[in-house]
Structure 1
């Protein structure tokens, strides 16, 4: 699991060690104290002390395994696992038309999912947090879970968001700008709640469950209503100084170009985001204007020249944007995750050709590229992964405070 170094800065050396041990255990199905010490290059006494505190806190548990081999002799080997029953968490994706909730245990195993439809795509911050509570209560009721069992909530939302502080500079889901969500969470929600940019959370999910498993340097580009990006460098999520980094959708591709939903002109998502393509494919039409990417595709198949032009231009521009990322980061892999129908030929080839033509040519293959239609649950799973990470930090801090008292 990705662990943000900024989160570690508030821990003393003892608690930081406990957290590293917890993360080491989480990275394995089960592991011995000896193997943890080797993996962390730490002393056996230090690891034993950390494991003792984590066991007392209920975050991990011991299991006995018989010695391997044909002759079963000797004492059983004591292995350590994450205690999934310790806590339940909720990961919530804030989308335009629904809140998708996934409930997981502390190990990350899914209990179930629930979607709460939304009548409006933008709302006041206070109303949004109240709606989050409604979604949480409905999900728990649907899944037969007592809301009091939920120990942490993590929200994924589009926009410029500082994932360490819960401060939102701007989001397409919220009417106001510059909102500190922490006081609202404390008023309306029953447990610690964490907020982050949704594309960052998809990067976490890809690192845990998807194409980023085992990789140290990779990028996730999300394309839906807008365009987002998650950056993993040296195994860690990169956020930027203000927590607002990786906003690929608002990089400029045309000076004084099309209007973006952020209010500026010429942004990438003003050409490749769902709303932009629907807008451009509707230009000049008095009737039968498309309302979705699926309708634009159907019109292009039927020979509509404007629909074809919009798809062709979006594919070209997206390919150039991906090439710029290769030139900037030289990643191991790029995941292009789309919440839209799969594009027909020739549009994927147009994108790939633009990627190849605009990448600096060296005597090495291009990074791997995974193109996937993004399952909405992936967003919520990423939020849940963030919640597990942040709740782990809180529980380790709490244990440290108990020991110091």
Structure 2
């Protein structure tokens, strides 16, 4: 029988303890053990090391001098918010959004820079991101030398660990090394992540899935992204690849095969020449005004999405499916046919399994999710006395 890698197990246990303190702190050691199912010895060893590293702090609950209390005060553990700072960045088609956060993910500053990213060369994108990071860090009252890492999220397929972008709607040159370009400009450890994974982390840490360690997220943007959280961890494919939903084939294959992204993505709507130059708010106004042809396009998109979500529920059996993305601005014109086709397609035994949650969240949460990706790396990374051996590419300086 193959023995588990002790360094990997140490990293997993360390992450579990830190994440439990983040989610439930201040918290006593005994409750950490109950929530993580780790032994008291393991919890004590990990928390002692985390205290030595300055990542957590001790708080005393109660006062031994109080006449109303007996015994010693309870020793509670909490994250040290000033243990580290990170920056999360969202790279979208027409803007770059940055947030600076502390070790527990609190937003200290945020910044949005308008830019037509898809028309920029990779060095220009790197310059734009670097400028945004510097300005955001300055707004937070920090120096760049205090930032532990930067996480950049963008739509597409990203190889976690190498930062290689295999496909993206916002990068014109996939062969250009974006990871290296940003790292060189900032001199800070950099992570490249899919925006679907980033917003999935954000929902788990701060949003609609704070109490769910298993859920599925569908990002309905210009491309269709997919995030899967399992046992509190992002599910990744081979080589750490992020997941995508837009390439799912809806019907027979071949040159004429229709992909889900063609039916359900915002790009399908913008392909209509009458919508050129209009944002989704204007598209919604046209729908409300009774544009039958446009309504049919949006209804087909909603129907296709409903079938796809039913397939995801059949595959993963999640208790919750979260829908996010700018295309949700189309409202019930999109969502009503989505719900109808989902109900028709879902197998009867699973009909009441998954709750579908609509969250029309703003840009800051997407960027904050990228920051959460960076923090997640820190939670499982070596500092002083704890942490795993480094594998493949090192993210943490």
Band the TM-score falls in, shorter-chain normalisation: 0.7 to 0.9
Aligned positions of 1:208-219 closer than 5 A = 208-219=205-216
Compute the TM-score of the two structures, normalised by the length of structure 2.
0.86
Shift in CA distance, 399/341, structure 1 to aligned 2, threshold 3 Å: closer
Shift in CA distance, 10/302, structure 1 to aligned 2, threshold 3 Å: farther
Once the 2 structures are TM-superposed, how far is the Cα of residue 281 of structure 1 from its aligned partner?
5.6
Once the 2 structures are TM-superposed, how far is the Cα of residue 379 of structure 1 from its aligned partner?
0.7
Higher-RCO chain (CA-CA 8 Å, sequence separation at least 6): 2
Q: 326, 331, 343: which one pairs with 1:339?
A: 326
Once the 2 structures are TM-superposed, how far is the Cα of residue 303 of structure 1 from its aligned partner?
3.1
Within 1, Cα distance between the matches of 2:333 and 2:167? Answer: 36
Tell me what 2:264 maps to: 272
Once the 2 structures are TM-superposed, how far is the Cα of residue 30 of structure 1 from its aligned partner?
1.3
Once the 2 structures are TM-superposed, how far is the Cα of residue 26 of structure 1 from its aligned partner?
2.2
Within 2, Cα distance between the matches of 1:109 and 1:160? Answer: 28
Size of the aligned set, in residue pairs, is: 385
> For each residue in 1:39-79, what CA deviation from the matched residue of structure 2 results, as whole angstroms up to 9, or x when unmatched?
44444444333222211211111111116998223222221
Once the 2 structures are TM-superposed, how far is the Cα of residue 354 of structure 1 from its aligned partner?
0.9
Tell me what 1:5 maps to: none
Shift in CA distance, 271/9, structure 1 to aligned 2, threshold 3 Å: farther
Within 2, Cα distance between the matches of 1:300 and 1:40? Answer: 49
Once the 2 structures are TM-superposed, how far is the Cα of residue 218 of structure 1 from its aligned partner?
1.2
Contact 1:11 1:397 in 2 (8 A): no
Aligned positions of 1:21-170 closer than 5 A = 21-66=17-62, 71-170=68-167
Once the 2 structures are TM-superposed, how far is the Cα of residue 172 of structure 1 from its aligned partner?
1.4
Q: Does 1:389 align with 2:381?
A: no
Runs (5+) with no aligned partner, structure 1: 1-7, 260-264, 284-288
Compute the TM-score of the two structures, normalised by the length of structure 1.
0.85
> For each residue in 1:282-313, what CA deviation from the matched residue of structure 2 results, as whole angstroms up to 9, or x when unmatched?
39xxxxx5633333322233333322221222
Q: Does 1:251 align with 2:259?
A: no
> For each residue in 1:308-362, what CA deviation from the matched residue of structure 2 results, as whole angstroms up to 9, or x when unmatched?
2212221222222222222222221111112146335454222211111111222
Runs (5+) with no aligned partner, structure 2: 390-397
Once the 2 structures are TM-superposed, how far is the Cα of residue 384 of structure 1 from its aligned partner?
1.0
Tell me what 1:286 maps to: none
Tell me what 2:342 maps to: 355
Within 1, Cα distance between the matches of 2:253 and 2:13? Answer: 51
Shift in CA distance, 9/46, structure 1 to aligned 2, threshold 3 Å: closer
Contact 2:156 2:223 in 1 (8 A): no
Contact 2:90 2:154 in 1 (8 A): yes
After superposition, the CA RMSD in angstroms is 3.0
Once the 2 structures are TM-superposed, how far is the Cα of residue 272 of structure 1 from its aligned partner?
2.0
> For each residue in 1:143-165, what CA deviation from the matched residue of structure 2 results, as whole angstroms up to 9, or x when unmatched?
43322221111111111102233
SS of the equivalent of 1:78 reads: strand
Contact 2:318 2:353 in 1 (8 A): no
Shift in CA distance, 117/159, structure 1 to aligned 2, threshold 3 Å: same
Within 1, Cα distance between the matches of 2:274 and 2:241? Answer: 32
